[in-house]
Amino acid sequence: MQSFRTELENPIVEKDIIQLEKSIRLFRDGTLDSEKFRSLRLARGVYGQRQQGVQMIRIKLPYGKMSVKQMLKISDVSDEYAIKNLHLTTRQDIQIHYVSLERTPELWAELEKDNITLREACGNTVRNVTASYNAGIDPNEAFDVCPYAHAVFEYFLRNPICQDMGRKIKIAFSSSESDTALTYMHDFGFIPKLKIENGAEVRGFKVLVGGGLGSQPFLAKTAYEFLGEDLIIPFIEASLRVFDRHGERNTRSKARMKFLINKIGYDSFMELVEKEKTANKVKSFKIDYKNYKQTEPPTNVVTTPVEIKDKAAYDLWLETSVFEQKQKGYYAVCLKVINGDLKTERARKLADIVKKYAADDIRVTINQGLILKFVPKEALPNIYTELSAIGLAEPGFDKTFDITSCPGTDTCNLGISSSTGATEALEKVIRHEFPDMIKNNDIKIKISGCMNACGQHTIANIGFHGSSLKVGANTVPALQVLLGGGTLGNGEGRMADKVIKVPSKRGTTALSMILNDYENNGNEGEYFNNYYDRLGKEYFYNLLKPLKDLTTLTPDEYIDWGHDVQFETAIGVGECAGVMIDLVSTLLFEAEEKLEWAKETLAAGQYADSIYNTYSFFVSTAKALLIDKEVMCNTQIGILNDFDKHYVSKGLFTFPTDFKTYVLRINENEPTKQFAEKFLSDAKQFVETSKKYRENQLA
């Protein structure tokens, strides 16, 4: 690992990578608890696959943006460490699969040479900040949201307040009220707004909070119709502090922010947010959007006359996969990528095309495609010809024909049945039976391998998620059919209804029946969701009910899409430390590590970070001592209360007040040097008292 110290310029990143390498060794030795190791590696983008012994690496690309150089670097890394494939995700990340755990630090170091991070791409952290793929070039946008998305990404990366939350947090910025970033299904969503104050134009955002998909989807609530641009980061910070403090931690299925808001009520949540603002690192955070490095149009684009052999195909591509930017004379070219899988050989050829005709700004889109920017109008025939040669000039980007899917059972531990194989089959149905749908922008089809909705099936007009059906002693791969979801605009959306579950191999027939019925029974000009609402859920259940008959199953239906053996439900094997450890000692060690971070950040003048690290130390130490008494707590507030109940009230520890009040001074004080020093000094005393108590217990 010594080479990391000499080759990387950023000491913070270097420390991260060295810590990952050290933790892998401790885990392999059996001296690091598997759950703690899992938490650490996930926060560094290393995710266990369904296949034993290999990892999925998630590469974090803020709002999906990467340069040509970065795409080539990721391709090189995939060739060296993975399987020569880039998987584009609905979170605008790139995943590579089948990576050896021991090689992940080396892989990360390679990526960081080109400013590409894995940090907090997975785990209970602030995940990748997404944004509309057309942000910055959208003719309808109030202003470019990219500088704001980037500022949020930078502010919360490695921020102490969000390193060990109960669950993940997802944030999205839409470029306009059309809400192409799907803000209504995020923990935090932002839609740009302008208003006039004292004769001057003021920037701000409509703010949404508490949305989410999964098995229990929630539509986000409107926190502010207009919040000034300088107040969005303080609002997120205060909200994360509330979530960290009050959010569920034991029951994973109830640990998202949406459940906290539902549990305590929206008004109570917002009251807690206001109280937390006292301890915020900043009360206002002005985002310097004027100095954000904007995408520059390409220079010296050379075009040559080309013969378009199939004029109809070219015109269809122009109509469905190209649009004129707000920058007149320039066009955006959208690339449909089936299942989001881009082979590295094709990625390199694409890089050469981008260098010739487009800006050095490639965006991963939330529907698993790519978008190229600033293509001059005169270069469109050239870029079409060259994209066609590598199979990336498919028409119908983000239309009915462009189905979104997650990896499902290909690699994911949680996948139940195949989503990628089903996607290919469903697209063939549309291509052959409903060719006119290639222009349809009303019906979005999405599929996930399970109910967790990584493929966003919950908000699809027509959605599917992987499932299974028991037939005697055997199991049949199945698809749950959902109808009626979608985006309404300006932060509003609707969740799809679960209609019926059918064997997976009948999913194609189900799609045909739905689309045929829409063509035959939909009114002239009627949108799909209006047609669904008019006829009702029961109508569609009865329409598809014949497909549910399991007495007519054929041998082929016991085999999932893309497979050649009989289906079995299976869960991927996770890592195992192999030996028992002293969990209390491990937690106390981690608590002391947080205290060291508090000292380091105090010395660096980062008072808010020091205070939060000290707070985390108090909570972690109390949790360890409670576990010693076999007391399990599901929130940080619960830990503080239980420590008072089991230790302070019995005279085992004493404080000027109760423990909860003593620790929650964090909420009552500004993040000053004086308070940071006092809080840390008190924590050091708690260390000594805890050590003595622990030594006595062990003796």
Q: Which of 557, 479, 407, 480 is nearest to 51 (CA)?
A: 407
pLDDT digits (tens, 9 = 90+) for 462-500: 999 999 999 988 899 999 999 999 999 999 999 999 999
Q: What is the pLDDT of residues 37-83, one digit of tens each?
A: 887 888 888 988 878 889 999 999 999 999 999 999 999 999 999 99
Beta-strand (E) ranges in 305-410?
A: 322-324, 330-335, 341-343, 362-364, 370-376, 404-405
Record the tokens describing residue 511, joined without a space: 């799609």
Which pLDDT belongs to residue 250? 80
Residue 49 neighbours by CB under 8 Å, 6+ apart? 55, 56, 97, 98, 411, 412, 413, 572
SS3 string, 532-583, reads HHHHCHHHHHHHHHHHHCHHHCCHHHHECCCCCCECCCCCCCCCCCCCCCCH
Query: pLDDT value at position 253?
Result: 81
The pair of three-digit structure tokens given for residue 527, joined into one six-digit string: 């949108």
Q: What gap in Å lies between CA 539 and CA 595, rounded to an integer?
A: 61
Q: Render the burial of 19-43: b for 16+ CB within 10 Å, e for the rest.
A: ebbebbebbeeeebbeebbbbbbbb
∠ CA 557-483-417, rounded to 5°: 30
Query: Mind listing the domains of the chain with CATH numbers?
Result: 1-123 (3.90.480.20), 125-294 (3.30.413.10), 311-373+380-389 (3.90.480.10), 404-558 (3.30.413.10), 583-698 (1.20.120.330)
To the nearest whole number, what is the mean pLDDT of the chain?
Answer: 92
Rounded to a whole number, what is the largest CA-CA distance in the chain? 87
pLDDT band of 573, cuts 50, 70, 90: very low
> What mean pLDDT is predicted for residues 179-207?
96
pLDDT over 60 at 223, yes or no: yes
399 class by beta-carbon count within 10 Å (0-12 exposed, 13-18 middle, 19+ buried): buried
pLDDT grade, residue 7 (50/70/90)?
A: low
Q: Which of 411, 508, 422 is nearest to 465 (CA)?
A: 422
pLDDT tens for residues 234-271? 999 999 999 999 999 888 888 899 999 999 999 999 99
Q: Looking at residues 407-435, what average pLDDT do you find?
A: 88
For the stretch 641-686, pLDDT in tens is 999 999 999 999 999 999 999 999 999 999 999 999 999 999 999 9
pLDDT the model gives residue 35: 76
Amino acid making up residue 257: M
Instruction: Return the pLDDT at 42.
Output: 85
CA 315 – CA 243 distance, rounded (Å): 50
Q: What is the pLDDT of residue 582?
A: 56
Residue type, 358: A
Distance, CA of 418 to CA of 616 (rounded, Å): 41
Give the separation between CA 249 and CA 243, rounded to whole angstroms: 10
